[in-house]
């Protein structure tokens, strides 16, 4: 059994309904400091689960703990302040802004200077701006997107846009990173690059990751534990080896 202090996120008896339809049905999940994957058929409730964790959706019942702190009643803004960052299935970038500007936008809740000092750009405001820009440049270097740092993201290839969105999430300095299909629509080379960055985020930066991904080759390669959803219910949790051998998972999702 994993010691309680090693659990970064715990979801307990989570329920969510839309128009009388049960979207999440008594979902329980424990995530330690690891790369943790959520898989399942389309419509299984995977994205809804992430939306409940960062409070884009308000569940009907259940509790969510971040490092043993109950965050169930907090707003999405407060949860971001506590250190849960997120990327989305569909890219949610500011198309008219550059790579640097998009990633810097991810630092907004870390700015502490007041409106006046920030607007006039002196003293504390100037020092803070320099610090944040240094942090952004480190992320750009980490994600190997120096060549497009001053380009507007709307003109970037899809794979690079996904990388910029990942950079914006990292700019929050998260305790936990939620990735919703970060490799969807990518070619093989782009997927390999993104998988490498996910591993490096965990191993080099020490940030636990919850990832939703349909590419089972990627999931089995990078995840330490996997949760399988089907029609809003958890049908299995375990290591990649356990999940790949689970007959219920094979019948519902993996196939023969």
Confidence category of residue 123, pLDDT binned at 50, 70, 90: low
pLDDT at 115 over 80: no
- CA geometry: angle 123, 124, 128, nearest 5 deg: 125
Q: What is the pLDDT of residues 161-204, one digit of tens each?
A: 999 999 999 999 999 999 999 998 899 999 999 999 999 999 99
The per-residue pLDDT for 37 is 97
Question: Is the same domain home to 28 and 144?
Answer: no
Q: Which residue has the higher pLDDT, 114 or 221?
A: 221
Q: Is residue 227 part of a domain?
A: yes
193 touches 162 (CB < 8 A): no
Please provide the size of the chain in residues: 256
Q: Which residue has the higher pLDDT, 130 or 125?
A: 130
Question: Is the same domain home to 253 and 191?
Answer: yes
Q: Which two tokens stand for residue 99?
A: 């790579």
181 touches 191 (CB < 8 A): no
Question: Is the same domain home to 256 and 180?
Answer: yes
What lies within 8 Å, CB to CB, of 89 at 6+ separation is 47, 180, 181, 184
Confidence category of residue 116, pLDDT binned at 50, 70, 90: very low
Q: What is the pLDDT of residues 5-19, one digit of tens each?
A: 689 999 999 999 998
Q: Is residue 129 part of a domain?
A: yes
Q: Which two tokens stand for residue 240?
A: 């990649």
159 touches 130 (CB < 8 A): no
pLDDT at 118 over 60: no
The per-residue pLDDT for 106 is 85
Question: Is the same domain home to 211 and 164?
Answer: no
Question: Is the same domain home to 180 and 162?
Answer: no
Q: In the 8-state DSSP scheme, what is residue 256?
A: -
Confidence category of residue 105, pLDDT binned at 50, 70, 90: confident
Confidence category of residue 114, pLDDT binned at 50, 70, 90: very low
- Which of 150, 173, 196 is at the close of a domain? 173
- Which of 126, 148, 173 is at the close of a domain? 173
Residue 53 neighbours by CB distance under 10 Å: 25
Question: Is the same domain home to 116 and 235?
Answer: no
Q: What ranges make up the beta strands (E) of the chain?
A: 7-18, 21-32, 35-39, 61-66, 69-70, 84-86, 176-180, 209-212, 225-230, 233-238
Full-model pTM: 0.90
H, E, C per residue of 193-225? HHHHHHHHHHHCCCCCEEEECCCHHHHHHHCCE
Q: Are strands 209-212 and 35-39 parallel, antiparallel or unpaired?
A: parallel
pLDDT averaged over every residue in the chain: 89
- Which of 157, 173, 189 is at the close of a domain? 173
Question: Is the same domain home to 123 and 180?
Answer: no
Question: Is the same domain home to 169 and 179?
Answer: no
**What percent helix, strand, coil does the chain show, rounded to 5?**
40, 25, 35
Please compute the mean of the pLDDT values over residues 85-93 and round it to a whole number: 87
Total count of domains within the chain: 2
- For residue 244, what are the domain limits? 1-83+174-256
Question: Is the same domain home to 178 and 79?
Answer: yes
The per-residue pLDDT for 46 is 96
Question: Is the same domain home to 241 and 138?
Answer: no
The answer to which of 1-5, 80-84, 148-152, 213-217 has the lowest mean pLDDT is: 1-5
CATH number, residue 52:
3.40.50.300
Share of the chain above pLDDT 70, in %: 90
Question: Is the same domain home to 3 and 70?
Answer: yes
């Amino acid at each position: 059994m994993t010691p309680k202090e090693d659990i970064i996120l715990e979801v307990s008896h989570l329920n969510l309904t839309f128009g009388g339809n049960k979207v999440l049905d008594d979902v329980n999940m424990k995530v330690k400091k690891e790369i943790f994957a959520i898989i399942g058929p389309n419509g299984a409730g995977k994205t809804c689960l992430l939306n409940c964790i960062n409070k884009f959706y308000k569940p009907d019942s259940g509790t969510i703990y971040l490092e043993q702190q109950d965050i169930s009643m907090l707003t999405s803004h407060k949860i971001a302040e506590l250190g849960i960052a997120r990327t989305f299935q569909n890219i949610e970038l500011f198309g008219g802004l550059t790579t640097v500007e998009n990633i810097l936008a991810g630092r907004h809740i870390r700015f502490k200077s007041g409106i006046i000092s920030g607007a006039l750009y002196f003293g504390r405001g100037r020092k803070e701006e320099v610090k944040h820009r240094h942090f952004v440049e480190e992320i750009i270097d980490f994600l190997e997107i120096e060549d497009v740092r001053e380009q507007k993201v709307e003109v970037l290839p899809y794979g690079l846009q996904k990388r910029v969105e990942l950079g914006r999430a990292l700019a929050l300095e998260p305790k936990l990173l939620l990735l919703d299909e970060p490799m969807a629509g990518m070619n093989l080379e782009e997927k390999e690059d993104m998988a490498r960055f996910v591993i490096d985020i965990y191993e080099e930066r020490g940030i636990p990751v919850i990832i939703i991904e349909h590419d089972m080759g990627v999931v089995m390669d990078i995840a330490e534990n996997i949760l399988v959803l089907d029609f809003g219910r958890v049908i299995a949790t375990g290591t990649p080896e356990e999940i790949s051998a689970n007959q219920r998972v094979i019948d519902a999702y993996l196939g023969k």
